[in-house]
Amino acid sequence: MPAENPVIVALDCSADEAMALAATLRGKVGWLKVGMTLYYAQGPQIVWSLRELGFDVFVDLKLHDIPHQVAGAAAEIAKLGAGMFTVHAGGGADMMRAAVESSRRAAEETGNPAPAVLAVTVLTSSDDATLASVGVERTAAEQVELLARLAAQAGVDGIVCSPREAAAVRAILGPDALVVTPGVRPAWSERGDQARISTPADALAAGASHLVIGRPITSAPDPAEAAARIASELT
């Protein structure tokens, strides 16, 4: 396992549940992910609250709008002290570049470290048939590689992709970029609603730098024990 625990626990739940899970997971993981459900319910306060407990926070809102709007949202996320946040690579190079530049300016103005900007390529719930249904003729793997190259040109810090595409993305981005992989589930957990998945160890071996894991930890009878079990599989 890397010196830094690569697991990011996804808190797709209520604020009370999120704070209880955070208290349980202190010392077990360093990163927590705040997605749309939790952020839209609680707003910026949830990011501050989790940071006060000592966690790094990954704000996963998948920004996708005109560059001006994304720049404004990216600046606000940077002011919260988030460690990472996401934009949709499908928004184009100008939009991604606006997010990078705006977040770095805002972080400098507020004295926060600049957050890593991650470009989402193809959602792990999507497969070739899903893409075809919305007019994308490339396979999921081909679409991920195309968007990863576009994102790299826009200056993002990393990519969000399925573990199945992690090796190809790592080859495109090089050794220092972040490759964050949702769709990671231990062999002992249920598959859930994600189509392109992998075990934690396999995802790291493929080139992932961070692993987003939700329900196998958060829905476990003992979330701390589940997190520790996953960590033991990565040693």
pLDDT at 114: 97
Question: Distance between CA 131 and CA 118 in Å, rounded?
Answer: 21
Taking Cα atoms as reference points, which of 24, 21, 29 lies closest to residue 2? 29
The answer to whether the CB of 97 falls within 8 A of the CB of 154 is: yes
Contact predicate 159/151, CB 8 Å: yes
Q: What is the pLDDT of residue 189?
A: 63
Domain segments of the chain as ranges? 7-233
CA-nearest of 1, 19, 28, 10 to 226 is 28
C-beta of residue 138 within 8 angstroms of C-beta of residue 131: yes
Q: What is the CATH number of domain 7-233?
A: 3.20.20.70
pLDDT of residue 60: 98
Structural element, H or E, at residue 32: strand 31-34
The pLDDT assigned to 31 comes to 97
What pTM was computed for the model?
0.92
- DSSP one-letter code for 112: P
**Catalytic residue annotation:** 62
Q: What is the pLDDT of residue 183?
A: 82
The pLDDT score that the predictor gives to residue 1 is 31
pLDDT of residue 227: 94
pLDDT by residue for the chain (235 residues), tens only, comes to: 344 789 999 998 999 999 999 999 999 999 999 999 999 999 999 999 999 999 999 999 999 999 999 999 999 999 999 999 999 999 999 999 999 999 999 999 999 999 999 999 999 889 999 999 999 999 999 999 999 999 999 999 999 998 889 999 999 999 999 999 998 888 776 655 444 458 899 999 999 999 999 999 999 999 999 999 998 888 7
